[in-house]
Amino acid sequence: MTISMEKTVKTPAVAARQPGFLQKGYERLGLAGSAAALVLLFVSLSAAFAPLLAPYDPDFPDLLAALSGPTAEHPLGTDALGRDILSRLMWGARVTLAGPGLVILLSTVVGTVLALVAAWCGGRVDTVISWVLDILFAVPGIVFALISVAIWGPSLFTVVAGLAVAYIPYVARVVRGAGLRERNLPYVSAAWLQGQSGAGITFTQILPNVQGIVIAQAISSLGFAVIDLAAVSFLGLGVQPPTADLGLMVKSGFDSVLRGHPAEAIAAGVLIILIVWCVTVIGDRLTTAARSMR
Amino acid sequence: MSEALLALDNVRAVLHTRHQSQALLNGVSFSIAKGEALGLVGESGSGKSLTTRAITRMLDPAFEVSGSITFDGAPVLSMTPSELRSYRSMDIGMIFQDPRAHVNPVHTVGDFLTEELVRNRGLTRDEVEHRAVALLDEVGVRYPERRLTQYPHELSGGMLQRVMIASVLLAEPRLILADEPTTALDVTAQSDVMAILDEQRRARGLSLLFITHDLELAAACCDRLAVMYAGEIVEQGAHVYESPGHPYTIELLGARPSIDERLDRLPVLRYNRDIHEQLKAEA
Amino acid sequence: MLLVLLVTSFIVFGMMYLAPGSPLAFVLGPRGGTPEQVAAVTAQYHFDDPFFVRYFRWLGDIFQGNLGSSIVYRQDVTALMSGRIGTTAALVSLSAVLIAVVGVGSGMLAALKSRWVDTIISTIAAIGLSTPVFVIGVALISVFAVGLGWFPTFGVGSGGLDTLVHLILPAIALAVASAAYLARITKAAVNEERTREHVQTAKVRGLAPGVIVRRHVLRNALIPITTVMGLTVATLIAGAVVVENVFALDGLGSLLVRAILQRDFAVVQAVILVLVVAFVVVNAVVDFLYTVIDPRIALGSRQ
């Protein structure tokens, strides 16, 4: 009874077809999206299991084999200090994926809660929250990261903290809009009439109905977070050497490019593009799917 | 009755999608004489608007149109792009249901009114504005000079529909197609706009194809009626309203609630596709 | 608008109180400082006053053009910035022009020409959108400056035409992602406007296809395009920080990064304030443009 009309109508249709998890995912993502998801899965797994899979210690310098170019021992070559580029890519992808992941996790949780509170309470609370979001929105993410670094010094965590604040409005704006729409639907009034509390309705009724949009927006933002974080590392204000990070690898590879050895810069640059492209494609498909369900 | 200005003969429009083909206009034939007004009546989805789109060649390319449409002897369906443009520009004028959506919001009323004549016929803007002001006055728009510099959102729906009528009259077409021109307006504006359209048309001796679901309104301002159902014209003539012959028309006329007596339930049409197919088979 | 400025200035001022250690030590940095410097910094931030008085006096100084002085360069911050602000402004403007021309142009092509053109442009746009500006910068230098030698690698050149040549690669690097995004938005906006009812009216009135596209499709699509263009220029200002570092341009961005690394706090505050002022000004200009482009919106009533 308390559950929305939508659900009672939907259930038999779902039961009739019984699509598996994979099929459902494919329906939402389409061909390009599924391909992107597979590539991203492959990259994430290689990054996650880098300690087991990487052929070399990413920090081990073999100065005799420095800037070797692709060889049988080093399939992607070595960098200026003779470190294996493939191993560094695998280790670097961990930071490049985990950092932005943390940014998005934090900003999505805070943004969603703020947005739902704004949408539910309305009035002055909504005005104040929207106002704060507008101010955050007016300033690009990377500036927040730089402010954070200026205060607490360069490190992965200060950048993540700065970006997490900067990314709050992206999620919050979308969720607030969706929340306002949901709020006026009959199932919410029904729950209200049954004596459920505002917070209860928001989190047990509205949240499940906007989760598709939340996830789609989070994934879309993840692509931008990867770019911003890598950029800050490239500037030397984020992840500090000798930790392997894709942004840093482009930076150190850049110096080698000037000496005629592009392997490291190309490898790291291409991997960043690939990651961001996959994330963006998946985000786009999920956004379209979430919209068409409204 | 003089010769036909517009004639449709066995016009079919078939929509081809990936999976199926469906005939949405199924052999429509009628004609409109010079100076004559024909009312095309039917429920929503019967193909009235599709018919006007076929006449103006505005149907989506996914439709396959067959049969013949002639305007003053010229075959509309085989016109070249430039012939088509001059046919749309000089010969016909179209009034749409929702003026708000059909007038570009970013240009002024003056831009809207003068655009066609200035661009297609090489008149100067001043000249056209002069005529536009006179016409706006005739169709009952007050302060016509001031309207020219206003934007569509500053006018009411009724006013905007008068502007639309003025824009059509300005081009001096020979046939006006009016697709439910009053449905989107509020009730008081409806009768005014309809009266103006009727009066202007008669004064200029223009032909009119009037599309509506309101049989009574159509009977009041048209010389002949044609009743459409499921992409076909089931009945047409000058006396359809007074003495309907087809079961669908009879039921449609009977379905109007009377103003004199109070009904417990509003009448519902029982005529449907099955009965329609059966009747066709019997005929 | 003014409120945003006030809030950011407050955050920028409050920054040093969030940092570990005493504000005085933080501003002076790890170098400590001579007694004269301690006195100068104390005067600059009015450390002898209560917090809010300090803030408003600091704000008052800024309005009078006094942004303090750099500990590292031992120079007035205003003088330090005035020499570099031109480079950043030139870079961002050149890039904005590129974005407007290439982004809107290719978006229109994608929407109006054949499917084939659409596929090519959409693919390039998708790749462009996924590529960080520093990767493009490195790639452009590697290919066009180091590899082919067509363009200079670093620096801003010696003014005039030479500067323009020096700024071409950086401007392209800065423009790619935004141009790709704008192309997408343009394509979507044009495709949407084409299905509008008023376009049907224009068509049924026998207007020429060119007139319909120009006056009724593109003109209306300008509204969403301007929105995105405005947002884009704001992000360019942030992107300039990165590009200036890749191409070793001596602008505000490279100054900011160096200042952060050297803990030259007065410079950090000043540059961030200038950047935020720039965002706010750009947003205000876009708001004004709206009222010109969309007659339905009156000044100050944007929802």
Q: pLDDT tens across B74-97, in order?
A: 888 888 888 888 888 888 888 888
CB contact (8 A) between residue C4 and residue A265: no
- How confident is the model at residue A5, as a pLDDT? 38
Question: What is the per-residue pLDDT across C153-173, written as a single tens digit (0 to 9) for each?
Answer: 666 666 666 777 778 888 999
CB contact (8 A) between residue A154 and residue C261: yes
CA angle C230, A161, C59 (to 5 degrees): 60
For residue A207, the one-letter residue type is L
- How confident is the model at residue A294, as a pLDDT? 52
Strand pairing class (B92-95; B4-16): unpaired
- How confident is the model at residue A19, as a pLDDT? 52
Closest chain C residue to the Cα of B151, Cα to Cα: C295
Tokens of B141: 């728009």
Is A223 within 8 Å of chain C by CB? yes
Strand pairing class (B37-41; B224-229): parallel
Could you tell me which chains touch chain C, where touching means 3 or more CB pairs under 8 A?
A, B
Out of A14-23, A80-89, B100-109, B147-156, least confident range: A14-23
Question: What is the per-residue pLDDT across C99-115, written as a single tens digit (0 to 9) for each?
Answer: 999 999 999 888 888 78
Set of chain A residues whose Cβ sits within 8 Å of the Cβ of C3: 135
* φ and ψ at residue A26, rounded to 5 degrees: -65, -40
Contact C299, C251 (CB under 8 A): no
- How far is residue A36's CA from residue A280's CA, in Å, rounded to a whole number? 9
Contact C59, C12 (CB under 8 A): no
Question: What is the per-residue pLDDT across B205-214, written as a single tens digit (0 to 9) for each?
Answer: 888 888 888 8
CB contact (8 A) between residue A150 and residue C15: yes
- How far is residue A130's CA from residue A135's CA, in Å, rounded to a whole number? 9
Give buried/exposed letters for C268-280 (b at 16+ CB in 10 A, else e).
Answer: bbbbbbbbbebbb
pLDDT grade for C95, boundaries at 50, 70 and 90: very high
Which residues is A84 bridged to in the sheet? A78
The end-to-end CA distance of chain A, in Å, is 21
Question: What is the per-residue pLDDT across C255-301, written as a single tens digit (0 to 9) for each?
Answer: 888 888 887 777 888 888 888 888 888 878 887 888 888 877 765 44
- How confident is the model at residue A157, as a pLDDT? 86
- For chains B and C, count residue pairs whose Cβ atoms are closer than 8 Å: 75
Is B87 within 8 Å of chain C by CB? yes
Mean pLDDT taken over chain B: 83
Is A231 within 8 Å of chain C by CB? yes
* φ and ψ at residue C142, rounded to 5 degrees: -60, -45
Transcribe B167-221 into DSSP letters. HHHHT--SEEEEESTTTTS-HHHHHHHHHHHHHHHHHHT-EEEEEES-HHHHHHH
* φ and ψ at residue B229, rounded to 5 degrees: -145, 130
CATH number, position A168 = 1.10.3720.10
- How far is residue C26's CA from residue C42's CA, in Å, rounded to a whole number? 12
User: Is A5 a domain residue?
Assistant: no
Q: Which helix (DSSP H) or strand (DSSP E) does residue B268 occupy?
A: none
Which of C126, C141, C280 minimises the CB distance to A138? C280
**Residue linked to tokens 């990377």:** A142
CB contact (8 A) between residue A230 and residue C280: no
Tokens of A219: 């994934």
What's the whole-number mean pLDDT along residues A152-158? Answer: 84
Q: SS3 of B128, please?
A: helix
- How far is residue A279's CA from residue A220's CA, in Å, rounded to a whole number? 7
Is A269 within 8 Å of chain C by CB? yes
Closest chain C residue to the Cα of A137, Cα to Cα: C231
- For chains A and C, count residue pairs whose Cβ atoms are closer than 8 Å: 117
Q: Which helix (DSSP H) or strand (DSSP E) does residue B233 occupy?
A: strand B232-237
Q: Does domain C77-293 have CATH number 1.10.3720.10?
A: yes
Tokens of B173: 């077409």
Is C290 within 8 Å of chain B by CB? no
- How confident is the model at residue B115, as a pLDDT? 84
CB contact (8 A) between residue B153 and residue C198: no
Which of B92, B151, B171 minimises the CB distance to C295? B151
Set of chain A residues whose Cβ sits within 8 Å of the Cβ of C135: 250, 269, 272-273
For residue A185, the one-letter residue type is L
- How far is residue A288's CA from residue A212's CA, in Å, rounded to a whole number? 10
- How confident is the model at residue C90, as a pLDDT? 87
DSSP state of A78: B
DSSP state of C147: I
Mean pLDDT taken over chain A: 78
Q: Which of A175-184, A273-282, B114-123, C144-153 has the highest mean pLDDT?
A: A273-282
Residue C65 falls in which region: left (phi positive, over 0), alpha (psi -120 to 50) or beta: left
Question: What is the per-residue pLDDT across A52-106, written as a single tens digit (0 to 9) for each?
Answer: 776 777 776 766 666 676 776 767 777 767 677 788 888 888 888 888 899 999 9
- How far is residue C60's CA from residue C44's CA, in Å, rounded to a whole number? 11
Is the pLDDT confidence value at A195 over 80?
A: no
Give the helix, strand, coil percentages of chain B, each rounded to 5: 40, 25, 35
Q: SS3 of B22, please?
A: strand
- How far is residue C161's CA from residue B100's CA, in Å, rounded to a whole number? 52
For residue B228, the one-letter residue type is M
Q: Which helix (DSSP H) or strand (DSSP E) does residue B230 occupy?
A: none
Contact B105, B153 (CB under 8 A): yes
Which residues is B237 bridged to in the sheet? B225
Is the pLDDT confidence value at B2 over 60?
A: no
What's the whole-number mean pLDDT along residues B68-78? Answer: 86
Is C214 within 8 Å of chain B by CB? no
Which of C135, C268, C276 minimises the CB distance to A269? C135
Q: SS3 of B38, please?
A: strand
For chains C and B, tell me whether 3 or more CB atom pairs sit within 8 A of each other.
yes
Question: What is the per-residue pLDDT across C23-62, written as a single tens digit (0 to 9) for each?
Answer: 666 666 666 667 777 777 777 767 767 777 777 877 777 7
Count of structural domains within chain A: 1
Q: Which helix (DSSP H) or strand (DSSP E) does residue B103 occupy?
A: none
Tokens of B248: 């669908």
- How far is residue B113's CA from residue B127's CA, in Å, rounded to a whole number? 12
Set of chain C residues whose Cβ sits within 8 Å of the Cβ of B58: 200, 203-204
* CA distances, A72 to each of A69, A76, A77 (Å): 10, 9, 9
Question: What is the per-residue pLDDT across C201-254, written as a single tens digit (0 to 9) for each?
Answer: 888 888 888 888 888 888 888 888 888 888 788 788 888 888 988 888 888 888
> Can you give the residue range of the structural domain that contains A100?
31-56+76-292
User: Is A113 a domain residue?
Assistant: yes
Report chain B's C-alpha Rg in angstroms.
Answer: 20
DSSP state of C300: T
- How far is residue C234's CA from residue C228's CA, in Å, rounded to a whole number? 10
How many CB atoms are closer than 10 A to CB B57?
A: 16
Is the pLDDT confidence value at A198 over 60?
A: yes
Contact C39, C242 (CB under 8 A): no
- How far is residue B58's CA from residue C147's CA, in Å, rounded to a whole number? 55
* φ and ψ at residue C214, rounded to 5 degrees: -70, -55
- How confident is the model at residue A17, as a pLDDT? 44
Mean pLDDT taken over chain C: 80
What is the rounded (10 degree) CA torsion for B77, B83, B87, B88? 90
Minimal CA–CA distance to C249: which of C93, C89, C115?
Answer: C89
Maximum Cα–Cα distance across chain B: 62
- How far is residue C297's CA from residue C293's CA, in Å, rounded to a whole number? 9
What's the whole-number mean pLDDT along residues B157-173? Answer: 86
For chains B and A, tell me whether 3 or more CB atom pairs sit within 8 A of each other.
no
Start and end residues for every CATH 3.40.50.300 domain found in chain B: 34-52+78-238
**Residue linked to tokens 């502007």:** B163
- How far is residue C119's CA from residue C101's CA, in Å, rounded to a whole number? 20
Q: How many CA atoms lie within 13 A of C41 on its CB side?
A: 23
- How confident is the model at residue C158, as a pLDDT? 66
Set of chain C residues whose Cβ sits within 8 Å of the Cβ of B103: 198, 201
- How confident is the model at residue A12, as a pLDDT? 39
- How far is residue C201's CA from residue C218's CA, in Å, rounded to a whole number? 16
Is the pLDDT confidence value at C182 over 70?
A: yes
Is the pLDDT confidence value at A10 over 70?
A: no
Start and end residues for every CATH 1.10.3720.10 domain found in chain C: 77-293
Question: What is the per-residue pLDDT across C67-84, written as a single tens digit (0 to 9) for each?
Answer: 777 767 777 778 888 878
Q: Which helix (DSSP H) or strand (DSSP E) does residue A31 occupy?
A: helix A21-48
**Where do runs of H (alpha helix) occur along chain C?**
2-18, 23-28, 35-45, 51-63, 77-98, 105-112, 115-130, 133-140, 161-194, 197-204, 209-211, 219-246, 252-261, 265-293
Name the CATH topology of B34-52+78-238.
Answer: Rossmann fold (3.40.50)
Contact B207, B3 (CB under 8 A): no
The pTM of the full predicted model, rounded to 2 decimals, is 0.80
- How confident is the model at residue A21, as a pLDDT? 56
- How confident is the model at residue C191, as a pLDDT? 87
For residue B52, the one-letter residue type is T
Is C296 within 8 Å of chain B by CB? yes
Is the pLDDT confidence value at A107 over 80?
A: yes
Residue B10 falls in which region: left (phi positive, over 0), alpha (psi -120 to 50) or beta: left
User: Is A3 a domain residue?
Assistant: no
